[in-house]
Amino acid sequence: MTTRPAPFDEDEVLHELKHYLPAQAPLKDFIHHNTLHAFQHLPFYKAIQRASALFGYKVSLSLSEYRAAYAAGQIKETILEQKIRERKGEKALADWKDRLLHAPPDATTLPRIGQLRANWKRQYRIDLDSLVHPVLFRVLCSYLDQGISIWSFPVADQRFLSALREMEKNSFSSFFRTRRVRDLFIQGPCTITELLTQLVGDETWFAQYLYDQQFAHQGWSGMVSAIEDQPQTLLDQRQISVHDLIVFELLLEMDALDSQFGAGAWEPLARRLQDAPPALFADVNASGLDDMLTIWQEAYEWSYYEDVLTGLVANYGPKPAPAEKSFQALFCIDDRECSFRRYVEQFDPECETFGTPGFFNVEFFYKPQDGQYLTKLCPAPVTPKHLVKEADAKSARERDIHFTKHAHSFHSGWLISQTLGFWSAFRLFANIFRPTMTPATASSFKHMDKHARLTVEHGATDGFEDGLQIGFTVPEMVARVEGLLKSIGLVREFAPLIYVVGHGSSSVNNPHYAAYDCGACSGRAGSVNARVICSMANHPEVRAQLRERGIAIPDTTDFVGALHDTTRDEIMFYDEHKLSPVNQQRHSANEITFAKALDYNAKERSRRFASIDTRLSAKRIHELIKIRSVSLFEPRPELNHATNALCIVGKRDLTKGLFLDRRSFMNSYDYQIDPDGNYLFSILKAAAPVCGGINLEYFFSRVDNQKLGAGSKLPHNVMGLFGVANGIDGDLRPGLPVQMIEVHDPVRLLMIVQHKPEVVLKTIQRAPETYEWFNHEWVRLVVFHPETEALYLFKDGAFTPYTPAQGQLRTIQDITPLVETHQENLPVYALH
């Protein structure tokens, strides 16, 4: 991996560099992913230690935080000792325990990144970053801007460098300070190698110099790289590449040097290099501190895992099944639906709930009425071939005059500030004392009009649009419905009503709004998908063909789509008027169940919110939660995936009656109808990167909120509608803001699969990219053998039996008293 001896290969270096840059897309397409994806080919601890040594990231909690968790009993002594024994042997136990608990942290060494380029400051006393960054960021932001500026970039239809060249050629002003560099740029072509020869001189340092340079503003570089790879992520598309960015930046650096020392009157950096900085990609050896942190992290995670595994085993057993099911409901696997499902089951013991990724196995592009663009509604890596259109929508979009750009020009601004200005005072007053929904609110229910029609079926006359087939043909529908039902194990005993509940969120003053919506729908609400799959499953022709395939859904059964707003805890049902009269009656009864469950769900959520007294009645709290979601001054409309830690793939029997504190993704799966693991394969293929990605993004944003997260969101400034930065001259801040992750405990995702270990092993080995997650322990995997009820832990490529330490599952009748009195994470309880 060392780059030093090899000759400089521009393409290869750029390719590698892009791999290491943050991969976050523009805000509207925010999708969770493993922040350290570039290191995923290495085992977890090795990877994070390497990332830390190279780039200066903090990759775990600090010693003092672990010690505090130990003192608070969150890390158990027995488990800490067990982890020391595993790694250091019985003999070293006392010594290591003492060290872990009392040794002062070693002096930290400097990260490798930036050390080469720091020589400009050291040897030349010039601060290139402060001379180059402001101009560079400004030009980049203006070029990429999606609609904040009133007067947009004059030559936006050309590639970045050509656009700049065009402007430089034809202007009395310049982005450069000096003539020489400007002429150099105008004459072109300015290859990176050529510029580096002038700036750095020695080819052995070229690659490292580029890393230093780009990682001095990894936010902007990462955004450019993301847009280069998927230009369609911008509505108003731009052609830009990391290559172009580097060329421009190198020129700006030369320009700054010229203006400081005179045209060309400076030596290349390598010429004055006194001590060679450490090579960026040289091997990294774990330090003593790394060893300590690893043991702490293991103990931290297993203190929680043990609790969960003990609970699962103890809770397992036949559950009384109702003779007749009142309804069945499919939810997203999302950890936020965990408690909602529990309450729905609690208030109607005769119902049955399932979890499955929230796009419900239908992948398509969606075009709302009057929409000028397409929205992808399926997991991000999938590229759909179908189009679903909205028609006959009735509600009109509302506008807010406060966002009008006229307020920014002086003549209309003169009028506006003297008229609208006073209206603002009133609005502000109203919004602080009586927050209400405004056009500025991002609401999940606006995603689709409730009364609009969707073009689900591909009719003979429908044809194609934008290269996509409008709607689905009947066989295509059958395949999707069958896939969905079989993967969750719902193939018999259908209830008269089957709800398919997507989810979305509402918030205001929240640039990260897309991160709160459904990840399986590419950061959008899941309402359209829910309606589409229901419409398919209700189709008589589809029913007939399903019956031929052994899935006999009674004619009396209706599928009903719905959307759960996870911020406001509201639910909206779709197409209820199409239900049979008797089902309409049943539905009215169920609506009461849902409403009650939502009230209690809100109450349970409120224990984390300082502004709400959790001891109030569920109904009252629900009201307060709704107000909170539209309050301008509330930076935490909801806590999203914070505290997520588990992913359970199996029957609901495994977890029913277990209090998991909203920490678990839950994917329903019946091993009995999938002996070879075919459906399991698709489930894991999606769940590992989606749930693992969410988990690791929270993990790293939590442990290093400054470098891997976005810092506090309170000072954030929106840049070009695609990113946020601090102030006006700052680097973009990818990752999650502190308000999203502060309550998160950084534990890796523990995935528990209910099947035979040998089947699971074969299944995960089928796709190398899935296998990597488990093999390198970015996600921990435990199998629960459904017949022997034994646990197996996946480690070093094999499943080995695992017995949790003797522990008792705590039992509690009603969770409410606990919820009312505790803010922190709660342990696993059995609810009896």
Restricting to residues 396-435, which ones interact with another protein according to CB under 8 A?
397, 399-400, 402-403, 407-410, 413-414, 416-422, 424-425, 427-429, 432-433
Instruction: Pick the closest to residue 571 from 579, 560, 585 (CA basis).
Output: 560
Is 534 annotated among the ligand-binding residues? no
Using CB under 8 A as the binding rule, the residues of this chain from 328 to 387 that contact another protein are 368, 370-373
Distance between CA atoms of residues 444 and 461, nearest Å: 32
Residue 561 or 711 having the CB closest to another protein: 711
CB 170 → another protein: shortest distance, Å? 5
Which residues inside 9-28 make contact with another protein, applying CB under 8 A?
27-28
3-class secondary-structure state, position 724: strand
Binding residues for another protein restricted to 706-735, rule: CB under 8 A: 706-707, 711-721, 725-731, 733
Distance CA(546)–CA(540), nearest Å, equals 10
| CA–CA distance, 131 with 533 (Å, rounded to integer) | 55
If binding is defined by CB under 8 A, does position 440 make contact with another protein?
yes
- In this chain, which stretch among 169-177, 273-281, 324-332, 574-582 interacts with another protein, using CB under 8 A? 169-177
- Residue 365 or 513: the one with the smaller Cβ distance to another protein is 513
Quickly count: other Cβ atoms within 10 Å of residue 750's Cβ. Answer: 23
Q: Which is nearer to another protein, 128 or 683 (CB)?
A: 128
d(CA 596, CA 677): 38
Contact 663, 748 (CB under 8 A): no
Which is nearer to another protein, 430 or 544 (by Cβ)? Answer: 430
Q: Shortest CA distance to 514 belongs to which of 33, 30, 146?
A: 30
Residue span 219-258 as binding mask against another protein, x where in contact by CB under 8 A, dash where not: x---------------xx----------------------
We find the least distance from the C-beta atom of residue 465 to another protein, in angstroms, to be 16
Angstrom distance (rounded) from CA 359 to CA 145: 31
Q: What angle do CA 28, 31, 35 make, to 5 degrees?
A: 125
Residue 545 tokens read as 């063909």
Does 503 appear as a known binding residue? Answer: yes
Which CB sits closer to another protein, 442 or 791?
442
Q: What is the chain's length? A: 832
CB of 566 to another protein, least distance (A): 16
Task: Tell me how far apart the alpha carbons of residues 749 and 760 are, in angstroms, rounded to a whole number.
Answer: 17
Closer to another protein by CB, 63 or 484: give it: 63
Region near another protein per CB under 8 A, out of 10-18, 266-274, 395-403, 769-777: 395-403
- Start-to-end CA distance of the chain, whole Å, equals 56
Closer to another protein by CB, 231 or 322: give it: 231
> Per-residue contact track with another protein, 111 to 140, x per CB under 8 A?
x-----------------xx--xxx--xx-
What single letter denotes the amino acid at residue 766? R
From residue 203, how far is each of 200, 271, 310, 347, 682 by CA, in Å?
8, 12, 58, 70, 47
> How many residues sit in the footprint of another protein (CB under 8 A)?
115
CA-closest candidate to residue 495, choices 343, 339, 323, 742 = 323
CB of residue 422 to another protein, shortest distance in Å: 6
Kindly state the smallest distance separating residue 565's Cβ from another protein, in Å. Answer: 15
| Residue choice 94, 95, 101, 108 for contact with another protein (CB under 8 A) | 108
334 is in an annotated binding site: yes
Q: How far is the CB of 631 from another protein (least distance, A)?
A: 7
Rounded Cα–Cα distance for residues 123 and 131 (Å) = 17
Asked if 559 and 537 count as a contact pair (C-beta separation under 8 A), the reply is: yes
For residue 827, the Cα-to-chain-centroid distance in whole angstroms is: 25
Name the residue nearer to another protein (CB basis): 366 or 794: 366
Pick between residue 52 and residue 353 the one whose CB is nearest to another protein: 52
Q: Helical H runs in 571-677?
A: 581-606, 618-629
SS3 category, 113: coil
Residues 34-53 that bind another protein (CB under 8 A): 52
Which tokens in the block code for residue 224?
């450019």
Q: Is 518 annotated in some ligand binding site?
A: yes
Distance CA 351, CA 209 (A): 62
Quickly count: other Cβ atoms within 10 Å of residue 11's Cβ.
Answer: 9
Residues 590-649 that bind another protein (CB under 8 A): 610-611, 631-636
Per CB under 8 A, which of residues 556..595 are in contact with another protein? none
Identify whether 786 is preceded by a cis peptide bond (ω within 30 of 0): no
The least distance separating another protein from the CB of residue 619, rounded to whole angstroms, comes to 22
Query: Which of 742, 772, 777, 820 touches another protein by CB under 8 A?
Result: 742
Contacting another protein within 764-793 (CB under 8 A): none
User: Contact with another protein (CB under 8 A): which of 353, 361, 441, 643?
Assistant: 441
Q: Which is nearer to another protein, 368 or 692 (CB)?
A: 368
The DSSP element (H or E) to which 659 belongs, if any, is: strand 658-659
Distance of CA 75 to the CA centre of its chain: 27
User: Which amino acids are annotated as binding site for Zn(2+), given as ranges?
Assistant: 332, 334, 503, 518
User: Which amino acids are annotated as binding site, given as ranges?
Assistant: 332, 334, 503, 518
